[in-house]
């Protein structure tokens, strides 16, 4: 049995082909992984402009509070705005290019206007309300690193740079096969002793969320020959194959044997709870991850072990494991020799953020998984008392790229 970090290190050494890329329109780029490092091609702002509706003034140093002569008008989109001499002003609207010689923009609330004459209420502040060319971003500055997932808030910046299309990595094809004769797909009626297949839809959704092209490989009964055939088919059409169930030691657990006939299992068992029977290897040259059948164990091993491999195959930069130390609302006990990843939620108490573990921590208890927003990592054979800081992995960070 490997420690979690040792298993992660082994997975990080699996050789993967460099992901290919395609050019997509900016409007189709959200959620995709940038295949090129993008630099600003133009200054932002591209020209000096006004941040307020008001008056651009060239300060009359001798009489800063004197009357200024209004010599013209400019709105956003105006072109040549000419030049100001000391004591002159230009009526400007927000976004209007500023004339040469402008030293300050005075908001219209702070002036009185009488025909062509402007009377200031206070001496103008040099540089006030002037958005100076390149002050936000100079041409040549890095905008996005290769490997960054494009988020909605990147899009405006790229559009402001005039970028209408960009290269993104192709999504890796990652297949999910459920194993288990007891499984019935959602939407079909259950008969005695059978359960709905929760893992396949769950894993497909997690894969989509982390940037993969998730391939539904269906389900296979607990039969050695059928399992081998379906895994061989999976390897032929996917870049990575993930199975759930049949990874443990029971008579009906055929996955590892089938995989060993098609390639091999390199490592089996990881010292975490839930998720111990996790295995990885290869099928006909393709990486293969066998997740445990218990739904919470399948989800936790996906997030902690499978997802980093999928992200790497997708060309994504590895994300730092963001952990928050949060005080516990109540004590937690881990009597196991493995670290226990406990489902919990963050709660506010008098403005203080605390973490509240769920009472149900069974490997099949999906209800508390759906409610959780963190996993508390409780070290082996450890009690963490109420109020003490607990290391919490944020599920939002583990799920979204």
Interior/surface letters 133-149, b for 16+ CB within 10 angstroms, e for the rest: bbeebeeeeebbebbbb
Burial of 294 (0-12, 13-18, 19+ CB in 10 A): buried
- In DSSP terms, which residues pair with 166 in a beta bridge? 24
Nearest approach in angstroms of CB 247 to ligand LQZAQKY5 is: 4
| Three-state secondary structure call for residue 319 | coil
Contacts of ligand LQZAQKY5 in 159-198 (CB under 6 A): 178, 180, 182-183, 195, 197-198
Give the x-and-dash track for 353-372 against ligand LQZAQKY5 (CB under 6 A): ----------x---------
Residue among 129, 169, 276, 311 that touches ligand LQZAQKY5 (CB under 6 A)? 276
Cα gap 217→201, rounded to integer Å: 11
Residue among 245, 308, 315, 401 that touches ligand LQZAQKY5 (CB under 6 A)? 245
Which stretches does DSSP call E strand in 258-371?
263-268, 279-283, 286-291, 323-327, 332-334, 340-349, 352-357
**Is position 247 an interface residue for ligand LQZAQKY5 (rule: CB under 6 A)?**
yes
Nearest approach in angstroms of CB 388 to ligand MOO is: 25
Cα gap 86→103, rounded to integer Å: 10
Contacts of ligand MOO in 296-335 (CB under 6 A): 297
The smaller minimum CB distance to ligand LQZAQKY5, of residues 82 and 250, is found at 250
**Is position 340 an interface residue for ligand MOO (rule: CB under 6 A)?**
no
Query: In degrees rounded to 5, what are phi and psi of residue 98?
Result: -90, 145
Residue among 258, 363, 393, 395 that touches ligand MOO (CB under 6 A)? 363
The smaller minimum CB distance to ligand LQZAQKY5, of residues 88 and 199, is found at 199
Give the number of other CB atoms < 10 A from CB of residue 387.
12
Nearest approach in angstroms of CB 271 to ligand LQZAQKY5 is: 11
Cα gap 355→9, rounded to integer Å: 29
Contacts of ligand LQZAQKY5 in 32-91 (CB under 6 A): none
Residue among 147, 172, 263, 292 that touches ligand LQZAQKY5 (CB under 6 A)? 292
Nearest approach in angstroms of CB 270 to ligand MOO is: 9
Cα gap 35→144, rounded to integer Å: 10
**Is position 292 an interface residue for ligand MOO (rule: CB under 6 A)?**
yes
Give the number of other CB atoms < 10 A from CB of residue 264.
12
The smaller minimum CB distance to ligand MOO, of residues 292 and 308, is found at 292
Six token digits for residue 113: 């206007």
Contacts of ligand MOO in 236-275 (CB under 6 A): 273-275
Q: What one-character-per-residue DSSP string does 251-264 give?
A: TT--HHHHHHHHEE
**Is position 276 an interface residue for ligand MOO (rule: CB under 6 A)?**
yes
Place of tokens 């959704």: 205
Helix, strand, coil: what percent of the chain each, to 5? 20, 35, 45
**Is the bond preceding residue 67 a cis peptide, omega within 30 degrees?**
no
Nearest approach in angstroms of CB 134 to ligand MOO is: 55
The smaller minimum CB distance to ligand MOO, of residues 21 and 294, is found at 294
Residues of this chain that bind ligand LQZAQKY5 (CB under 6 A): 178, 180, 182-183, 195, 197-200, 244-250, 253, 274, 276-277, 292-295, 297, 363
Residues of this chain that bind ligand MOO (CB under 6 A): 273-277, 292, 294, 297, 363
């Amino acid at each position: 049995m490997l420690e979690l970090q040792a298993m992660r290190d082994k997975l990080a050494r699996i050789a993967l082909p460099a992901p290919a890329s395609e050019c997509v329109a900016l409007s189709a780029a959200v959620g995709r992984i940038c295949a090129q490092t993008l630099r600003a091609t133009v200054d932002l702002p591209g020209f000096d402009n006004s941040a307020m509706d008001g008056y651009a003034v060239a300060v009359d140093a001798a009489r800063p509070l004197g009357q200024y002569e209004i010599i013209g008008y400019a709105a956003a989109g105006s072109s040549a705005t000419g030049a100001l001499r000391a004591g002159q002003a230009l009526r400007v609207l927000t976004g209007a290019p500023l004339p040469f010689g402008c030293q300050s923009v005075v908001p219209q609330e702070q002036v009185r206007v009488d025909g062509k004459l402007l009377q200031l209420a206070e001496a103008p502040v040099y540089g006030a309300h002037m958005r100076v060319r390149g002050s936000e971003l100079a041409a040549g500055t890095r905008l996005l690193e290769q490997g960054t997932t494009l988020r909605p808030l990147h899009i405006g910046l790229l559009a402001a740079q005039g970028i209408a299309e960009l290269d993104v990595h192709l999504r890796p094809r990652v297949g999910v096969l459920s194993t288990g004769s007891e499984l019935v797909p959602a939407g079909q009626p259950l008969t005695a002793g059978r359960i709905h297949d929760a893992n396949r839809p769950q894993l497909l959704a997690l894969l989509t969320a982390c940037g993969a092209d998730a391939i539904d490989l269906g389900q296979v009964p607990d039969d050695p020959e059928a399992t081998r055939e379906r895994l061989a088919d999976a390897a032929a059409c996917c870049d990575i194959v993930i199975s759930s169930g049949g990874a443990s030691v029971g008579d009906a657990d055929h996955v590892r044997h089938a995989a060993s006939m098609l390639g091999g299992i390199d490592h089996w068992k990881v010292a975490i709870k839930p998720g111990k029977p996790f295995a990885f290897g290869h099928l006909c040259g393709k990486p293969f991850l066998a997740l445990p059948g218990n739904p919470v164990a399948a989800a936790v091993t996906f997030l902690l072990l499978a997802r980093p491999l999928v992200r790497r195959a997708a060309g994504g930069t590895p994300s730092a494991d963001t952990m928050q130390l949060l005080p516990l609302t109540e004590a937690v006990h881990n009597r196991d020799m493995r670290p226990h990843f406990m489902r919990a939620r963050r709660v506010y108490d008098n403005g203080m953020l605390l973490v509240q573990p769920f009472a149900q921590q069974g490997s099949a208890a999906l209800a508390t998984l759906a409610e959780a927003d963190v996993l508390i990592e409780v070290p082996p054979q450890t009690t963490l008392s109420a109020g003490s800081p607990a290391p919490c992995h944020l599920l939002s960070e583990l799920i979204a790229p």
